[in-house]
Structure formats: C-alpha cells, structure tokens
Amino acid sequence: MGSRLADKVALVTGAARGIGLETARAFGREGARVVAVDLDEAEGGAAAEGLREAGCEAVFVRADVSKAADCERMVAAAERSFGALHVLFNNAGISHIDDGDAESTDEAVFDLTMNVNLKGVFLGCKYGIPALRRAGGGSIINTASFVAVLGAATPQLAYTASKGGVLALSRELAVIHAREGIRVNALCPGPLRTELLMKYLDDDAKRHRRLVHIPMGRFGEAEEIAQAVVFLASEESSFVTGATFLVDGGITAAYVTPEE
C-alpha cells in the first residue's frame, strides 16, 4: 500500500466500472478512504466491497449525479462516514448510442447527456466545494475528454459539447477558488479500451480508423488514466490548477481528418 493519499477522503462518481473503478482502487492503494458513488447499486456496492476486501476503508453511495438532492447526499455521506472530504473526482458520464450530429440527435438524447455529463459535474462541485473548504482545501478532478479540444470524425455532438462545457466550468472554478487551496483540473482521456468506447468501435475497421490517429498505436487503459487522477489528487500536483490535463497517447497532437 502506498501513502500518496494517506489521511485523505476521496469521493469517486461513476465508480462501478471503467475509469471510476480503477481510480477508486488506485486511491485505496495510496491510502485514501473512498466514497464510491454510482447509479448502479449492484455493481457500485460490489466495487466498494472489493475495496474493503483489499484493505481500504470504503463506503458505497447510490446517486444520480444529475439530481441535486443526490449530489448533496453523497457529499454529506462522505463527511458523515469519514469526517471530511479532500478529493472529489466528478467522473460519472454517459455516451448515448443515439448521439450523432445535430440533425440526427434527438433533443431528449442531448438533454440527458448534458444533465449527466455537465450538470452532474456542476452539482458535484456545488456541494463538494463547501466540503473541501471545510477540510482546509483539496483537489477536484472533472472528467472531460480529448474530444473537448478537437472535432471528432465520428459525430457524437451532445457528448462532445458536454465535455467542452466541463473544460470551461473547470477553468473558471479553478480561478475562483485558487486562493482557498482548492484546485480544479479537467482530465481529458484519449480513446480507451473501455466499454464506453468499444460499443461504438465494434468491428476491426472502426477500431483501425481511430487507431491510425493515435501516435502510440494503441488504445489507453483505464488503469493508466487512474494513475493520472492519483497525481492530480495528490500533493505532487500542488501547483497544478485550471489545467486541461490530456492523457491521450498523443492523439490531440497529431489529429487530422481521416481520408475516406
């Protein structure tokens, strides 16, 4: 067990799978007490149980991050369970299978995506920032995406717009709260070998089309993103705030529109 997050209490939304699950595990290995939050009670509860079995203090809270009352409750649960909140990882997000371009995307799909991906981050910060202030400062990491800084060849307009909003929100909060010792950074993962992306890239041709743009020539792993989150959560990143923190295998440095 490490000690980079010793004596810290960390809340992770979307903790049941993918980046959230791997980050919750990494937080636990580094000594944090973890509040695992997810809408899926079965998988989220199992994630927290797995953390406890690995020797980490952890609790599960079921929450829909698009609901203010749920976000208020998850933060209150962190303080009630462990006495404080020092790290807030607003990671929960969706990518809707019917998210396309402006013409093809239904208004309901757009609204749902915005409510979870952008409003959920806002609500997490709305209730989390006072808790971090009570703890004397801390770190907020908001999951954006590499598509927030470039135009993706495969349209998913609502997702891309929501993640662009996360970037802007994170920058502004970083400026507002810097003197309070509250750091806010936007994590921008590149294409990952996770369920969220692989449901779109469901054949070799689609996967190849994305891979040709990644200089490292492979998809990232959720565990690799988790290590970046640990850095942003820890005091190792004490002078990092307002950052667009890209962990993308070089794709944003090399991206061009593919030839058909």
Tens digits of per-residue pLDDT, 44-59? 999 999 999 999 999 9
Residues 6+ apart with CB under 8 A from 104: 98, 155
Torsion of CA 57, 62, 64, 67, to 10 degrees: -90
Closest CA to 237 of 172, 185, 170: 185
Residues 6+ apart with CB under 8 A from 173: 125, 129, 140, 184
CA 117 – CA 195 distance, rounded (Å) = 17
Backbone angles phi, psi at 141, to 5 degrees: -120, 120
Residues 6+ apart with CB under 8 A from 68: 123, 126, 127
The confidence score (pLDDT) of residue 214 equals: 87
Select which of 127, 159, 200, 255 is catalytic: 159
From residue 109, how far is each of 43, 116, 122 by CA, in Å?
24, 11, 19
Q: Going from the N-terminus, what domains does the chain have, and what CATH number goes with each?
A: 9-251 (3.40.50.720)
CA 175 – CA 191 distance, rounded (Å) = 29
Using DSSP's 3-state secondary structure scheme, residue 71 falls into: helix
Which residue numbers in the chain have pLDDT < 70? 194-210, 256-260
Tokens of 131: 């808790």
The confidence score (pLDDT) of residue 200 equals: 58
From residue 134, how far is each of 72, 79, 128, 180 by CA, in Å?
15, 10, 10, 10
Answer yes or no: 127 catalytic.
no
pTM score, whole prediction: 0.94
